Amino acid sequence: MSRIGRRTLLKAAASAGLAPALVTPALVTPALAAGWPSQPVRLVCPFAAGGPTDVAARIVAEGLTPALSQRVIVENRTGAGVVVGTEAVAKARDGHTFLYTTIAHAVLRPLFRNLSFDPDADFVPVALIGVIPMLLQVNDDLPARSLPELIALFRTHPGEFNYGSSGAGGAVHLATELFLRQAGGLRVNHIPYRGAAPAMPDLLNGSLAMFLNVASDGIVSVQRGNTRGLAISGTHRIPQLPDVPTFAEGGLPDYEAYTWHMILAPAGTPPEVVQAVSAGVNRTIAGGQAKQRLEEQAMELRPAGTPATAAAWLRAETAKWAEVIRAAGLQPQ
């Protein structure tokens, strides 16, 4: 049944005094929910195999397998950004398919036209696994040794410097636009790349002045002295780079930006199933090898979260980045 048809039917049922449960197709029956999981669980990752999101998804899946007493399998479904994999989960009706996604989910509506699914109505947040701050890296020859000096440099030379991103509309791009706006509307030219790795040579050779990278991707470069880290976008410094101050310490107290990892379920998934996966995630990331491996990627874990706190986080992030997209003048594809 299409989403339009389902909503029409719901309205008709409401006018007739029928309960929504009588007309909303359930993913699984109550009997199946009681015996869930009855088969391997699929965790669809709409990112390429071997990338940082895929690596984290496999760490979580490995820990979830004993927690759920069924094998949890990561399936990479890429295409059109994250649209192809997300659409596959939105339409899944087997009760055992979930989405492992990131901040990319929060910006689907303002960045894509004619989606076949509703990023909000067609999904139920299950668990916020953790957040990863952004690391402001600059070319080592840039005459700015701190965040205030970088802001002053950009302010006195508007439009003369370039910054890179891992793609228009991605976490790096949006976090940088938020920084430039909060720093007083700085004018720095945006150069999008197909991922973070292709941008690094241009940051090293000086074609790019800065790259506001996902911290897990930029730590090694700063540790080796190839680039200079000026600020971290979280509320506190990270253990891997204890000498890199936060944006707040650098004079921007309201600046905070992360990419994050979350598990979503198709709408209609029974609450018992959602709670089971949420509890399994909490057990997985609360301690042991999974916790250590994820924290090595600079992820700040959320082992005490609930589906409700995940939903609240997703709503806040969706609203926050929609405003950044609007202010930056980005148009949907």
Tell me the CA distances in angstroms from 327 to 211, 217, 295, 319, one per residue in order.
20, 27, 33, 13
**What pLDDT was estimated at residue 181?**
96
- Long-range Cβ contacts of 33-36 (<8 Å, 24+ apart): 33/95, 33/270, 33/272, 33/273, 34/272, 36/95, 36/96, 36/270, 36/272, 36/273, 36/276
Model pLDDT for residues 141-160, shown as the tens digit of each residue? 999 999 999 999 999 999 99
What value does the mean pLDDT take over residues 23-51?
Answer: 74
For tokens 């070319």, what's the residue? 139
| Domains along the sequence of the chain with CATH | 3-131+260-328 (3.40.190.150), 133-232 (3.40.190.10)
Q: Residue 235 and residue 312: Cα distance in Å, rounded?
A: 19
pLDDT > 50? residue 217:
yes
High-pLDDT (> 70) share of the chain, %? 90
Using left for φ > 0, alpha for ψ between -120 and 50, and beta otherwise, residue 87 falls in alpha
Question: What are the φ and ψ backbone dihedral angles of 240, each rounded to 5 degrees?
Answer: -70, -25
The pLDDT mean for the chain works out to: 89
Burial class of residue 71, CB neighbours in 10 A (0-12, 13-18, 19+): middle
Q: Residue 322 and residue 221: Cα distance in Å, rounded?
A: 31
**What pLDDT was estimated at residue 81?**
85
pLDDT > 50? residue 11:
no
CB 76 within 8 A of CB 132: no
pTM of the predicted protein model: 0.86
**What pLDDT was estimated at residue 13?**
37
pLDDT band at 34 (very low <50, low <70, confident <90, very high): low
**What pLDDT was estimated at residue 14?**
40
Q: How many CA atoms lie within 13 A of 54 on its CB side?
A: 13
Model pLDDT for residues 56-69, shown as the tens digit of each residue? 999 999 999 999 99
Model pLDDT for residues 45-59, shown as the tens digit of each residue? 999 898 889 999 999
Say how many C-beta atoms besides its own lie within 10 A of residue 186's C-beta: 20
- Compare 32 and 267 and report the one with higher pLDDT: 267
High-pLDDT (> 90) share of the chain, %? 80
What DSSP line would sit under 130-187, residue for residue?
A: EEEEEEEEEETTSS--SHHHHHHHHHHSTTS-EEEESSTTSHHHHHHHHHHHHTTS--
pLDDT > 80? residue 193:
yes
